[in-house]
Amino acid sequence: GGQASLSRFRGALVSGVLGDCIGGEFEGAEEVPMESVLEHLYGLDEETRGDGILEYSDDTAMARCVVQSLLTRTGFDEQDMARRFAKEYSASPGRGYGSGVIQVLKKLSCPRLSDVFQPARDQFNGRGSFGNGGAMRAAPFALAFPDKADVKRSTRLGAMLTHSCSLGYNGAILQALAVHFSLQGALETPQKFITNLIAEMEEVEDTEAARNDARILKEADKPFCERLHRVKELMERSKVSIEEVISELGNGIAALHSVPTAIFCVLHCLKPVECLPQTYNGLERTIAYSLALGGDTDTIACMAGAIAGAHYGSESIPQTWMRCCEGVEDADRDAERLHALYHQMSQSD
Ligand code: R7I
Ligand code: MG
Ligand code: MG
C-alpha cells in the first residue's frame, strides 16, 4: 500500500499482537534452535489450532490501553492512560508483567495519587526502570500522530508513566520512530532508514538526564546511538550468526538490549535468510528470526512485528497465525480507528 495506508496500520498493530502471542512460547529461553521455532510455527498451520489459543501478554495488554486511551481522548492524556494501565493490571494481573512494574501499577490505582508520573520515578532507588515495558507498547503512538514531534513527545510521556529512566523511555521513542518511518515506506531504503534513526536519536539522547543515566549505568555516551551504529555494522556484513547478534545487540529485558535488536531483525529479514524456509515472506521471516534469538522473545517479536507489519502491510500476515492469537480482531478494528484519527490529525495541521 501507499504511505500510511490502512493496510500498513493493520499490519503494524496486528503483527505486534502476533509477535507477542507467538513469541511467548520461548520467552526466557537461553537457546532456541531454529528447528524448534519452525516446529512451533508449523504447529500454527494445523487445523486443530485456532480460536485465539495463544494468549497475549503484558506487551499487548498495555498496548491495548494505549490504543483505547489515544482513541477516546483523541490524543495523549496521561491521567486517562495511567487509569487504564492500573485497571487492566487489576483485572488481569497474570499477563506476565515485569517484576518491578507491578509496584507502579498498584500505586497508579490509588485514587489519592496526585502526580501520575511519581510511582515510576520511585522505581529502582529513584532512578526509574530501564526495562523495555515502555518500548513494547510504543507502536500505537506512531499510528495516532502523523507529526514526528508529537510521536516523540507523547511516546516519552506515555513510557514515563512506568519507566522514568531515560534508557527506558528513549527506547520507547526509538521503537515509535521506527514504526513512524516504516509506515511511510522508509524501509524501501534500509541504509537511509538506519541513518535517519541514528540522526533522530542523536537529538533525543542529547539531554542532561540521558547523559546522567548513561554515566551512572556505565553505558556509552549516547547508548542507543552506539547500538544503532552496531546495527549498521551488522547490516553491512555478508554473514551474521545468531550468536553475534545476541552478543553485539542483546536479547534481554532492558530497552537498550532489545529495541535495537528488534530493528536489526526487521532489517536483516528484508531479504531471504539462509536458515529460514524460502516460502516465508518478509513478515514471517522477521517473526521467526526474532524467536530464534531467545531471551525476551515475546517483546522482541512484538516490536519487530510492529515495525515489519507497517512495512509489509496486512496482506503479508498468514491467516493461520491470526486465527491462533488472542486479540487479533480487536487489533484489526483498532487499526482502522487509528488510521482515521491519524488522517484526521494530518488535515488539521
Ligand atoms: O520493563 P517492564 O515493564 O518489563 C517488560 C518485560 C517484557 O519482556 C514483558 O514481556 C514482560 O515479561 O516484562 O518491567 P520492569 O519491572 O520495569 O523491568 C523489567 C525488569 O528489568 C525488572 O524486573 C528488573 O529485573 C530489570 N530492571 C532493572 N534492574 C535493575 N535496575 C529494570 N530497571 C532496572 C534497574 O534500574
Ligand atoms: Mg510479555
Ligand atoms: Mg517480554
pLDDT digits (tens, 9 = 90+) for 217-258: 999 999 999 999 999 999 999 899 999 999 999 999 999 999
Q: Which ligand sits nearest to residue 95's alpha carbon?
A: 2
Distance 349 CA to ligand 2 centre (A): 36
Query: Which residue, by CA, sits nearest to atom 31 of ligand 1?
Result: 124
The SS3 call for residue 161 is: coil
Greater model confidence, 159 or 51: 159
Query: Which residue, by CA, sits nearest to atom 30 of ligand 1?
Result: 124
Distance 63 CA to ligand 2 centre (A): 11
Q: How far is residue 140's CA from residue 61's CA, in Å, rounded to a whole number? A: 12
- Cell digits of residue 210: 540521558
CB 178 within 8 A of CB 144: no
CB 268 within 8 A of CB 289: yes
Q: How far is residue 71's CA from residue 65's CA, in Å, rounded to a whole number? A: 10
Q: Report the percentage of the chain scoring pLDDT > 70.
A: 98
Confidence of residue 347 (pLDDT cuts 50, 70, 90): confident
- Cell digits of residue 140: 500505537
Which residues have CB less than 5 Å away from ligand 2 (the ion)? Answer: 57-59, 96, 298
Q: What is the best residue among 57, 127, 129 to mutate for testing ligand 1's pocket, by most ligand atoms within 8 Å of CB?
A: 129
Q: What is the mean pLDDT of the chain?
A: 96
> Is 298 near ligand 1, meaning CB less than 6 Å away?
yes
Greater model confidence, 111 or 57: 57
Q: How far is residue 187's CA from residue 116's CA, in Å, rounded to a whole number? A: 36
Q: What mean pLDDT do residues 133-144 have?
A: 98
CB 167 within 8 A of CB 219: yes
> Is 129 near ligand 1, meaning CB less than 6 Å away?
yes
pLDDT tens per residue across span 247-301: 999 999 999 999 999 999 999 999 999 999 999 999 999 999 999 999 999 999 9
Percentages helix, strand, coil for the chain, rounded to the nearest 5?
65, 0, 30
Confidence of residue 46 (pLDDT cuts 50, 70, 90): confident
What is the pTM assigned to this prediction?
Answer: 0.98
CA 172 to chain centre: 8
User: Phi-psi bin for 331: left (phi > 0), alpha (psi -120 to 50), beta?
Assistant: alpha
Distance 163 CA to ligand 1 centre (A): 9
Please give the C-alpha separations between residue 294 and each of 56, 78, 242, 252, in angstroms, as whole numbers. 18, 34, 10, 9
- The residues, ordered by sequence, that sit 6+ positions from 35 with a Cβ below 8 Å of its Cβ are none
pLDDT tens per residue across span 22-34: 999 999 999 999 9
Q: What mean pLDDT do residues 66-92 have?
A: 98
Name the burial class of residue 241, with classes exposed (0-12), middle (13-18) and buried (19+) by CB atoms within 10 angstroms of its CB. Answer: exposed
Q: Other CB atoms closer than 10 Å to residue 69's CB: what's the count?
A: 23
First-residue to last-residue Cα distance in the chain: 23
Distance 255 CA to ligand 1 centre (A): 9
Residue 348 has a pLDDT of 75
Please give the C-alpha separations between residue 303 and each of 72, 192, 213, 261, 309, in angstroms, as whole numbers. 24, 20, 24, 9, 10
